[in-house]
Amino acid sequence: MGQSRRILIIKPSSLGDIVHAFPMVEQILHHEPDARIDWVANSEFVPLVRRHPGIHRVLSFPRKEWGSPSFFSSLKNFINDLRTERYDYILDAQGLLRSALIARTALGKEIVGFSDAREGASFFYSRKIRIPRIPENSLHAVRKNLLLLESMGLPPDIRNVSVTYTEKDRMDLASLMSEEGFSGKEPYIVLHPGAKRSIKQWPSPYFSDLLTRLKSAFPHISLVLIGSHEDKALLSEIAGRTRAEPLILPGKIPIDLLPLFFSGALLYIGNDSGPLHLAVMSGTRTISFYGSSSPARTGPFGEPGMHMTLGDPVPCSPCGDFRRFCSHQSCLVGVTPEVVLDRALALIVTENMNIRKDAGEVVSRKSA
Whole-angstrom distance, CA of residue 254 vs CA of residue 268? 17
Lowest mean pLDDT among 94-108, 128-142, 239-253, 335-349: 128-142
Domain count within the chain: 2
Map residue 210 onto helix, strand or coil: helix
Map residue 2 onto helix, strand or coil: coil
Burial class (CB in 10 A: 0-12, 13-18, 19+), 362: buried
Task: Give residue 367's pLDDT.
Answer: 33
Domain boundary, last residue among 152, 183, 202 = 152
Rg value, the chain, Cα: 21
Residue 162 domain-assigned (yes or no):
no
Question: What is the arithmetic mean of pLDDT over 162-167?
Answer: 93
Buried b (16+ CB within 10 A) or exposed e, 258-293: bbbbbebbbbbbbbbbbbbbbbbbbebbbbbbbbbb
Task: Give residue 133's pLDDT.
Answer: 80
Residue 196 sits in a domain whose CATH number is 3.40.50.2000
Say if residue 142 is in the same domain as residue 36.
Answer: yes
Question: What is the arithmetic mean of pLDDT over 234-254?
Answer: 97
Give the number of other CB atoms < 10 A from CB of residue 248.
Answer: 18
Whole-angstrom distance, CA of residue 28 vs CA of residue 58? 17
Band of the pLDDT at 363, cuts 50, 70, 90?
very low
Lowest mean pLDDT among 90-104, 220-234, 262-276, 293-307: 293-307
Say if residue 235 is in the same domain as residue 341.
Answer: yes
Say if residue 174 is in the same domain as residue 280.
Answer: yes
Task: Give residue 2's pLDDT.
Answer: 60
366 pLDDT more than 50? no
Band of the pLDDT at 329, cuts 50, 70, 90?
confident
| Total length of the chain | 368
Say if residue 193 is in the same domain as residue 88.
Answer: no
Say if residue 121 is in the same domain as residue 237.
Answer: no
Say if residue 105 is in the same domain as residue 177.
Answer: no
Q: Is the dihedral of CA 167, 158, 344, 201 positive or negative?
A: positive
Residue 71 domain-assigned (yes or no):
yes
Query: HEC string of 30-72?
Result: HHCCCCEEEEEEEHHHHHHHCCCCCCCEEEEECHHHCCCCCHH
Question: What is the arithmetic mean of pLDDT over 276-280?
Answer: 98
Any residues with CB less than 8 A from the CB of 261 and at least 6 apart, and which? 173, 177, 190, 253
Domain range holding 334?
Answer: 168-364
Tens of pLDDT, residues 74-89: 999 999 999 999 999 9
pTM (2 d.p.)? 0.91
Element (H, E) at 175: helix 167-179
Say if residue 58 is in the same domain as residue 173.
Answer: no
Say if residue 127 is in the same domain as residue 182.
Answer: no
Say if residue 307 is in the same domain as residue 190.
Answer: yes
Residue 210 domain-assigned (yes or no):
yes
Residue 159 domain-assigned (yes or no):
no
Q: Between 353 and 227, name the one with better pLDDT.
A: 227
Cα 361 to the chain's mean position, in Å? 31
Band of the pLDDT at 132, cuts 50, 70, 90?
confident
Say if residue 340 is in the same domain as residue 223.
Answer: yes
Domain boundary, last residue among 120, 152, 184 = 152
Tens of pLDDT, residues 3-31: 799 999 999 999 999 999 999 999 999 99
Instruction: Give the amino acid at 247.
Output: L
Domain boundary, last residue among 118, 152, 186 = 152
Task: Give residue 326's pLDDT.
Answer: 66
Cα 71 to the chain's mean position, in Å? 27
- On whether the CB atoms of residues 335 and 312 are closer than 8 A, the answer is yes
Give the chain's end-to-end CA distance (angstroms, integer). Answer: 49
Say if residue 129 is in the same domain as residue 268.
Answer: no
Say if residue 200 is in the same domain as residue 344.
Answer: yes
Residue 146 domain-assigned (yes or no):
yes
Band of the pLDDT at 242, cuts 50, 70, 90?
very high
